[in-house]
């Protein structure tokens, strides 16, 4: 894919032209991850946190067929209000959206593609997709994992979404040769909680150490991305038994209601919010802020 269909916001274009650090932010968090107006407030706060840590944010989406690196406040507001009515755009959706001049909020996979086209190396999100529970029979594996194997963008997250099968996800990433780093942790964070019991490939204790690894990856022409896992701050973590009980109930309901495909992750996250009385939404917001701050510091060091 060339850059014919790519557009930059003025602040992002200026930062890139001047060699200043830029990080990518996804837009499905805005449209499909949270209710309005918290979604727009969260998006604006993410951009503010990036700038406070010395980096220009580029929130990414497809707007009327254009692959956009950087959105205006009006565009953020539109995505927030439109919510799930906006297309949830992964890799396979991009050509259709471009050809039809439609709007879509980008998943981790699609955000990585557009970030790479824009020359942005670091991307902050909440959690990445992975291997779904029961994938042995459903074959439900997120396109995020394949994108990590082929697109050279580092993704900073709070681990894999805990509604997924964490062990199988790590096995898949290992098979595809994707390095999984832990920021100040030896264990893969489990999104709402800081520990999963599964080890990461390497522990990193500073943004500079992570930047050094990314630089080495680039210098040797190492293909694919990297997963940088950043535990949720302890004060916002949820008790494992509480969140696991909510997830298990939500999974049971999804099975009973035959929820599948693109609808499954938004359904599960929404039900978990309801079952935890909103506690999981607050945790989700705080871990996103934490990831944006780390990604900005990595980009500045890089």
- Summarize pLDDT for 7-34 with one digit per residue, the tens: 999 999 999 999 999 999 999 999 988 8
Q: What is the pLDDT at residue 2?
A: 63
- Summarize pLDDT for 256-302 with one digit per residue, the tens: 898 877 677 778 777 877 887 777 788 889 999 999 999 999 999 99
Strand partners, 8: 69
Element (H, E) at 47: helix 38-52
Alpha-carbon span 92 to 94, nearest angstrom: 6
Residue where the block lists tokens 């709402």:
192
Return the structure tokens found at 260.
């599948």
Q: Answer for the pair 250, 271: CB distance below 8 angstroms, yes or no.
A: yes
Q: Answer for the pair 43, 73: CB distance below 8 angstroms, yes or no.
A: no
Model confidence, pTM: 0.91
Strand partners, 89: 106
176 to 91, 113, 205: CA distances (angstroms): 18, 18, 25
Q: What is the pLDDT at residue 259?
A: 83
Which candidate, 95, 143, 144, places its Cα nearest to that of 123?
A: 144
Q: What is the pLDDT at residue 1?
A: 55
Mean pLDDT of the chain: 92
Alpha-carbon span 98 to 196, nearest angstrom: 39
Catalytically active residues, by annotation: 26, 161
- Summarize pLDDT for 222-257 with one digit per residue, the tens: 889 999 999 999 999 888 888 878 878 887 888 889
Handedness of CA 287, 50, 76, 37 (dihedral sign): positive
State in words which class domain 6-301 has. Answer: alpha beta
Q: Answer for the pair 190, 284: CB distance below 8 angstroms, yes or no.
A: no
- Summarize pLDDT for 159-211 with one digit per residue, the tens: 987 778 889 999 999 999 999 999 999 999 988 888 888 999 999 999 999 99
């Amino acid at each position: 894919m060339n850059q014919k269909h790519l557009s930059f916001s003025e602040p992002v274009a200026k930062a890139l032209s001047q060699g200043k650090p830029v990080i990518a932010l996804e837009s499905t968090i805005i449209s499909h991850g949270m209710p309005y107006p918290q979604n727009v407030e969260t998006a604006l706060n993410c951009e503010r946190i990036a700038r406070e840590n010395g980096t220009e944010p580029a929130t990414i989406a497809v707007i009327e067929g254009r692959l956009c690196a950087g959105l205006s406040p009006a565009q953020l507001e539109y995505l927030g209000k439109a919510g799930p009515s906006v297309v949830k755009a992964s890799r396979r959706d991009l050509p259709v959206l471009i050809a039809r001049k439609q709007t879509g909020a980008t998943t981790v996979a699609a955000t990585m593609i557009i970030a790479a086209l824009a020359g942005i190396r670091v991307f902050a999100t909440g959690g990445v997709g992975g291997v779904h529970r029961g994938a042995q029979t459903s074959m439900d594996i997120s396109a995020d994992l394949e994108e990590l194997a082929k697109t050279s963008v580092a993704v900073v997250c709070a681990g894999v979404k805990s509604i997924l099968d964490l062990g199988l996800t790590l096995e898949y990433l290992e098979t595809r040769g994707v390095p999984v780093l832990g920021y100040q942790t030896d264990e893969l964070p489990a999104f709402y909680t800081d520990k999963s019991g599964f080890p990461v490939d390497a522990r990193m204790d500073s943004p500079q150490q992570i930047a050094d690894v990314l630089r080495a990856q680039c210098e040797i022409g190492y293909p694919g991305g990297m997963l940088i896992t950043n535990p949720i701050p302890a004060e916002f973590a949820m008790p494992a038994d509480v969140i696991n009980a909510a997830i298990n109930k939500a999974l049971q309901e999804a099975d009973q209601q035959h929820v599948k495909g693109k609808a499954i992750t938004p359904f599960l996250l929404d039900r978990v919010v309801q079952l935890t009385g909103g506690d999981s939404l607050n945790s989700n917001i705080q871990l996103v802020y934490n990831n944006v701050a780390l990604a900005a510091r990595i980009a500045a060091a890089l």
